Amino acid sequence: MHKDIATPARTREILEKYGFSFKKSLGQNFLIDTNILRRIVDHAELTETSAVIEIGPGIGALTEQLAKRSKKVMAFEIDQRLLPILEDTLSPYENVTIVHQDILKADVQSRIDEILKGFEDIMVVANLPYYVTTPIIMKLLEEKLPIRGIVGMLQKEVADRISAKPGTKEYGSLSIAVQYYTKAETVMIVPKTVFIPQPNVDSAVIRLTLRENPAVAVKDESFFFQVTRASFAQRRKTILNNLTSQLPGGKEKKEGIQAALKKAGIEETRRGETLSIEEFGALSDALYELFK
C-alpha cells in the first residue's frame, strides 16, 4: 500500500521533492488530514457508478480519496507546476483524468461529454480556492450541468452566507442565488490547523443538492436575480428605497414599484433580508412588466 498523500509528512515530502512553493494568488491551501478528507467524501454519497468533478486538486490529497470511492474523477487544475506532481502522486489510480484548465474559462459541459460520457450520477467535490469560490459555484449552477450536487469546502463565512435563512445578517443575494437552484446545508466545520499553509480563517464544507425545479417559478430568471441584488444593495435601507435607487429608472417609476410591492403583498418598509425566496419571486414577477 502506498502512503496517503494527505499526511503532514508525506505532503512535505512531495512539496520538497518538487520544490513547490505556494502561490497566494491561486489561494493554495493543502489539506493534511486524511480523516477530514474521508468525511468530505462521505457527504458526497458516492457509489461505484458515480463520476466526480474536482476543482483545484492541488497535489491530489482529495483526488486520491475520490478515486478510491468512485468510478471516474475529472479534475480541473489551473497551475501547470502541479501537473507533474499529480502525475506522480496519482499514478496508482487509473480512473483519474486531469484537465489543465481554469474552471471559470472551461466549457465544462463539453468536458463532461468527452470524459464522463454515459455517467448518470455526477457529483462536484472540491476544496475550492477561496478567492473564486462564489464565481465557481454560480458558474456550475447557471450552466445547468447534469450534476446531482456540489460538496465544497470554502471559507466558513461564505458557507454561512450560502446556507443562510431569511431574517439573519448572513442572508443576502448570494443565499438566494444558490438556494434558487439547490438545497443548501453546511455539513461540517474545518479548523484552519489542518491545512498547509494555514489560512487565516476557518473553513466549512457545504453540500448543495440540485433541485429538480428551481425553488420558485418566475417569469424571468435574470430579472429575478437583478431584483434580489438591488434589494440588498444597502442593507439598512427599506426594500422600496433600494429598488427605487438600484433598478434602472427606478426613481421615475416609484409609484409603479409601490404598486408592485402591494400586489406581491410586501410592506414597502420591510428590508430585503426579511423576504423569503418565494416573496422575491412574487415581487420580481409583479415588477417585471414595469421594467421590461
**pLDDT tens-digit readout, 42-91:** 999 999 999 999 999 999 999 999 999 999 999 999 999 999 999 999 99
pLDDT of residue 2: 65
Annotated binding site for S-adenosyl-L-methionine: 29, 31, 56, 77, 102, 127
Residue 117 has pLDDT above 60, yes or no: yes
> Could you tell me if 194 and 232 lie in one domain?
no
Same domain, yes or no: 49 and 173: yes
Distance CA 230, CA 273 (A): 12
**1 is a domain residue:** no
Residues 105 and 197 in one domain: yes
Single residue among 151, 175, 210 that ends a domain in this structure: 210
pLDDT at residue 73, as a whole number = 98
Residue 130 lies inside a defined structural domain of this protein: yes
3 is written with which cell numbers? Answer: 502512503
Contacts of 178 (CB under 8 A, 6+ apart): 137, 138, 141, 162, 184, 208
Model confidence at 36: pLDDT above 80: yes
Residue where one domain finishes, among candidates 157, 191, 210: 210
Q: Residue 286: is its pLDDT beyond 80?
A: yes
d(CA 180, CA 72): 29
> Domain count of the chain?
2
Give the end of a domain, one of 210, 243, 272: 210
Q: pLDDT by residue (tens digit) across 169-213?
A: 999 999 999 999 999 999 999 998 998 888 888 999 999 999 999
The answer to whether residues 202 and 239 belong to one domain is no
Q: Are 229 and 243 in contact (CB under 8 A)?
A: no
Q: What is the largest CA-CA distance in the chain?
A: 71
Q: List pLDDT tens digits, range 134-168.
A: 999 999 999 999 999 999 999 999 999 999 999 99
Residue 85 one-letter amino acid? I
The CATH number for 252's domain is 1.10.8.100
| pTM listed for this prediction | 0.92
Measured distance CA(157)–CA(203) in Å, rounded: 8
pLDDT of residue 4: 86
Q: What is the DSSP letter of 145?
A: -
Residue 60 φ/ψ region, left for φ over 0, alpha for ψ in the -120 to 50 degree band, beta for the rest: left
Q: Which residue has the cell 431574517?
A: 167
Residue 137's domain comprises 8-210
- CATH of residue 119's domain is 3.40.50.150
Amino acid at 285: D
Q: Are residues 166 and 92 in the same domain?
A: yes
Does residue 203 sit within a domain?
yes
Same domain, 225 and 133: no
Q: Report the pLDDT averaged over residues 24-52.
A: 89
Q: Residue 1's pLDDT band (boundaries 50, 70, 90)?
A: low
| Residue 196 sits in the same domain as residue 163 | yes
| Predicted confidence band of residue 229 (pLDDT cuts 50, 70, 90) | very high
Q: Is residue 2 part of a domain?
A: no
Q: Find all residues with CB under 8 Å of 47, minimum gap 6, and list them.
A: 70, 121
The answer on 234 and 185 residing in a single domain is no
pLDDT tens digits, 241-266: 999 999 999 999 999 999 999 999 99
CA distances from 196 to 22, 33, 38, 85, 245 (A): 9, 10, 18, 17, 45
Annotated binding site: 29, 31, 56, 77, 102, 127
Same domain, 147 and 40: yes
φ, ψ at 61 (rounded to 5°): -60, -50
Domain membership flag for residue 3: no
Contact by Cβ (8 Å): 125, 44? yes
Does 26 have pLDDT greater than 80?
no
Q: What are phi and psi of 17, to 5 degrees?
A: -55, -40
Compute how many other C-beta atoms are within 10 angstroms of the C-beta atom of residue 227. 29
Query: What is the mean predicted confidence (pLDDT) over 93-98?
Result: 98
Residues 225 and 200 in one domain: no
| Percent of the chain residues topping a pLDDT of 70 | 98
The reply to whether 286 and 157 lie within a common domain is: no
Residue 72 C-alpha cell reads as 471516474
Q: Given this model, what pLDDT does residue 64 score?
A: 96
The span from the CA of 155 to the CA of 291, in Å, is 36
Q: What is the mean pLDDT of the chain?
A: 94
